[in-house]
Amino acid sequence: MMKIRLSPSYMNCRNEVEQIVAHFERQGGMIYHGRNMIKTFQTANGTWNVKRYHCPSLFNRIVYTFLRKPKGLRAFEYPNRIIPAGFETPYPIAYVEQRQWGLISSSFFISEHCPYKRRFYEFGDAKVADVADILTEFVRFTAGLHEAGIYHRDYSPGNILFDQKDGEWHFSIVDINRMVFGPVSIKKGCLNFARLWGQPEMFRFIATEYAHARHANEKDCTRWVMKARNRFWKPRAKRLDLPYNINF
């Protein structure tokens, strides 16, 4: 059994969505292959990103069928809260859910493809002086999200896409199924930067700019940002083969 939800702008694309899901394994250009799989498909309506979520365990199949919205459905619905608020995330096209014996077996989230090529991975060993303009605009973007009550719980380098367009830096957030909507305190906002890659200098710069953007105390923001960054990265630095040396 297959259930399909389409965005209003794509109501006439049901057949195309069905064909993509049917031929997902054999067609499309691979973007990511891991627990989940992401591919691009060229269509008459432009380039689409298609994310297939892995088949959950039996327990989670029951949870996502009866108790909690599946990740793909959340990813499909959340742009309707993010985009109207003035922030960028790929426009949703469809959510597809496949079921066996009445339980979710797999699901797909289809969206428009974001053309931005750059990711925050490149800032692993960057000097602040070389990227200060990007970081400043990024922090303002993040502060704007928080002021609007939008909090990305997986605010990691691969989930922040950016590029320069018409002389200005633009940012788009992806993998948005783990979002929280509601007031974001200054401290909670500072903790949101913990998963980024970068040297201490970069995080101190981010903390200062965030304090300016939200009219907060610089010392408090620096303490919260650095503590969150160290708590997240110290245990991982010991066991991961990172492309740069993290200094604490």
Note the pLDDT tens digit of each residue in 195-233.
998 899 999 999 999 999 999 999 999 999 999 999 998
In the 8-state DSSP scheme, what is residue 66?
I
b/e map 48-73, b = 16+ CB within 10 Å: bbbbbbeebeeeebeebbeeeebbbb
Quote the CA–CA distance of 8 and 31 in Å, as a whole number: 27
Closest CA to 52 of 101, 4, 107: 107
Q: How far is CA 113 from the centre of its chain?
A: 13
pLDDT given at position 239: 67
Instruction: State the pTM of this model.
Output: 0.90
Query: What is the C-alpha to C-alpha distance for residues 40 and 32, in angstroms, rounded to an integer?
Result: 10
The pLDDT profile of the chain, 248 residues, written as one tens digit per residue, is 789 999 999 999 999 999 999 999 999 999 888 788 999 999 999 999 999 998 767 666 676 676 678 899 999 999 999 999 999 999 999 999 988 787 888 899 999 999 999 999 998 888 999 999 999 999 999 999 999 999 999 999 999 999 999 999 999 999 999 999 999 999 999 999 999 988 999 999 999 999 999 999 999 999 999 999 999 988 877 666 554 445 54
All structural domains of the chain, each given as residue ranges with its CATH number in brackets, are: 2-112 (3.30.200), 118-239 (1.10.510)
CB 200, CB 245: distance < 8 Å: no
The predicted structure's pLDDT at residue 134 = 96
Distances, alpha carbon 229 to alpha carbons 125, 206, 221, in Å: 15, 12, 12
